[in-house]
Structure 1
Amino acid sequence: MANKKVILREKEKIDVLQFQINDKELDININSTDQKYLRDFFYEVISALLKEEFEFDLEIEAGYNKKLFIDIAEEYIKQLNIEIKKIRCNLPELQ
């Protein structure tokens, strides 16, 4: 099983989870209530799952010290990995 990197970091004064998926960097703004972009994010996750089995591995950027966001990110990635495993188990055998 492969690991895909997720970095919790501050980017242009915005707290983001930066995912490495399908040779792309996708940012989830964890300060925003606008979640419209999540559709594209989940499309990329499912597309990647069709190619390989993986889970996300969270890294905290050096110097990032917002404990609340660290706790939220850790739980989010934990739950996301659980859901990815369920999806992968329910995929039909790929030809």
Structure 2
Amino acid sequence: MADMDFVERVAALYLLWKAEKLRRFWVHQILQRRTQLGQFHRLLQELHLDDGRFQRYFRLSRSQFDELLSRISERISLQDTNYKHSMPPAERLSICLWRYASFSL
């Protein structure tokens, strides 16, 4: 009987360890570093340094982009959840403008 209790305890510990290991990697490491390595975060910082490139990329000047963002940021912002962080309004607006600018050529 003592051997069966030991086997049951080892099996229970293994299942708990396996469940914890699966839970630990819910989001892939690449996606966790999106805020440092993602296109929006790196590209927008570089575009803000050059007015001409910013204008060609978004079809708006930086001041127009900032004005538009200040007007609509409350409407396009979403709430963070326990499962994921929402996109910031600037990122949502930049994706929308980039898509619109790339199709209107």
What TM-score do the two structures reach when normalised by structure 2? 0.26
Name whichever structure is richer in helix by fraction. Answer: 2
Determine which structure has more spread, i.e. the larger CA radius of gyration: 2
* Structure with the higher fraction of residues in strand conformation: 1
Which structure is higher in RCO with an 8 Å CA cutoff and minimum separation 6? 1
TM-score w.r.t. the length of structure 1 is 0.28
